[in-house]
């Protein structure tokens, strides 16, 4: 290979150089090093009533963090692209009401100041190799949830983490959310083996998003449980009070009671492990 050996290209998170797990702390929640974290909430923030209602429900079901997209990367430019600054304001209201820290996707470094009250900045799958964004996020002092691109390898994901970490920010959480394959029934194919693989190669926490990995709500609970059994450090699950009317990703959203049921099963599996 030309240049530096591949496992030297991600020094900061390489297990060889950092045998200890990195534990990312978000308020009272911790992730990695044996600590497990549940992130739940709608694909996108739609209204105050919606986000506060869902936040209360997922909190009741034991979620550690609330997710909600305000800046939505959409395949079609004509689809709902999020409430933007207003969405972040509504997330802040839900955070104040429930005490749950919030996770939201940032698409451009130019929006950074709007994210002041956001606890975890998400880099979406489509932006995994937006190197300008990764460099900027490397210079802030907040956890970054880095999602694997649907067409990206495990090494590429680790090198994207390296962009962030080499700038000084070591609080990175990796997320497997499915990759694109020839399987046409599901939105993506959940690459579950990436979880133990990543945990062996790097010291970073690894979570699984079974919602985007499958695109079908019925498949979310079994894949969530499989991810936990496979050693994931956390789950990110989309939850909506009225999936049929959701402005984004309704078909993969769990209703609050379905989320509560899978969260309970996750606790049972973790107890066995």
CA distance 78 to 84: 15
Give the orientation angle of helix 220-229 with respect to helix 256-272, to 10 degrees.
Answer: 20
The residue within the footprint of ligand PEP, chosen from 95, 147, 170, 240 (CB under 6 A), is: 147
For residue 29, the cross-strand partners are 26
Q: With beta carbons less than 8 A apart as the criterion, state whether 83 and 102 touch.
A: no
Stretch near ligand PEP under the rule CB under 6 A, chosen from 89-97, 124-132, 192-200, 225-233 = 124-132
> Could you say whether residue 45 binds ligand PEP (CB under 6 A)?
no
Q: Which of residues 163-182 bind ligand PEP (CB under 6 A)?
A: 177
The residue within the footprint of Mn ion, chosen from 162, 233, 249, 258 (CB under 5 A), is: 249
In the bound state with ligand PEP, the residue whose beta carbon lies nearer, of 124 and 205, is 124
The 53-82 contact track toward ligand PEP, x by CB under 6 A, reads ----------------x---x---------
24-26 vs 29-31, strand pairing mode = antiparallel
- The helix/strand/coil state of 176 is strand
Q: What would the DSSP string read from start to end of 83-110? A: -THHHHHHHHHHHHHH---EEEE---GG
- Residues in contact with ligand PEP, total (CB under 6 A)? 10
The residue within the footprint of Mn ion, chosen from 12, 13, 38, 43 (CB under 5 A), is: 43
- The helix/strand/coil state of 251 is helix
CA distance 123 to 138: 12
Stretch near Mn ion under the rule CB under 5 A, chosen from 96-104, 110-118, 219-227, 244-252 = 244-252
Q: How far is the CB of 4 from ligand PEP (least distance, A)?
A: 29
Torsions phi, psi for 256 (to 5 deg): -50, -40
Give the orientation angle of helix 256-272 with respect to helix 48-60, to 10 degrees.
Answer: 30
Q: With beta carbons less than 8 A apart as the criterion, state whether 238 and 254 touch.
A: yes
> Could you say whether residue 212 binds ligand PEP (CB under 6 A)?
yes
Q: How far is the CB of 252 from ligand PEP (least distance, A)?
A: 10
The 183-212 contact track toward Mn ion, x by CB under 5 A, reads ------------------------------
In the bound state with ligand PEP, the residue whose beta carbon lies nearer, of 130 and 169, is 130
Kindly give, in sequence order, each residue whose CB lies less than 8 Å from that of residue 246, ignoring residues fewer than 6 positions away.
42, 43, 44, 46, 240, 253
Q: Which of residues 102-121 bind ligand PEP (CB under 6 A)?
A: 105
In the bound state with ligand PEP, the residue whose beta carbon lies nearer, of 14 and 125, is 125
Residues forming contacts to Mn ion in the complex (CB under 5 A) are 43, 249
The footprint of ligand PEP (CB under 6 A) covers 43, 69, 73, 105, 124-126, 147, 177, 212
């Amino acid at each position: 290979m030309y240049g530096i050996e591949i496992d030297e290209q991600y020094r900061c998170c390489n297990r060889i150089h950092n045998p200890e797990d990195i534990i990312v702390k978000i308020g009272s929640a911790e992730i990695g090093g044996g600590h497990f974290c549940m992130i739940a909430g709608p694909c996108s923030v739609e209204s105050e009533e919606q986000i506060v209602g869902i936040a209360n429900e997922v909190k009741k079901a034991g979620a550690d963090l609330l997710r909600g997209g305000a800046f939505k990367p959409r395949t079609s430019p004509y689809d709902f692209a999020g409430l933007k600054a207003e969405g972040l304001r509504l997330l802040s209201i839900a955070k104040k009401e429930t005490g749950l820290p919030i996770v939201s996707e940032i698409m451009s470094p130019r929006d950074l100041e709007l994210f002041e009250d956001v606890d975890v900045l998400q880099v979406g799958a489509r932006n995994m190799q937006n190197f300008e964004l990764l460099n900027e996020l490397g210079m802030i002092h907040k956890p970054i949830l880095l999602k694997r691109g649907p067409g990206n390898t495990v090494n590429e994901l680790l090198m994207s983490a390296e962009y962030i970490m080499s700038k000084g920010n070591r609080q990175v959480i990796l997320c497997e959310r499915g990759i694109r394959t020839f399987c046409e029934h599901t939105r993506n194919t959940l690459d579950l083996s990436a979880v133990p693989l990543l945990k062996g190669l790097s010291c970073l926490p690894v979570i699984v998003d079974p919602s985007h990995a499958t695109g079908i709500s019925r498949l979310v609970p079994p894949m969530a449980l499989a991810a936990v059994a496979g050693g994931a450090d956390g789950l990110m699950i989309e939850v909506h009070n009225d999936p049929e009317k959701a402005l984004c990703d309704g078909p993969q959203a769990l209703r609050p009671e379905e989320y509560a049921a899978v969260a309970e099963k996750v606790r049972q599996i973790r107890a066995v492990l």
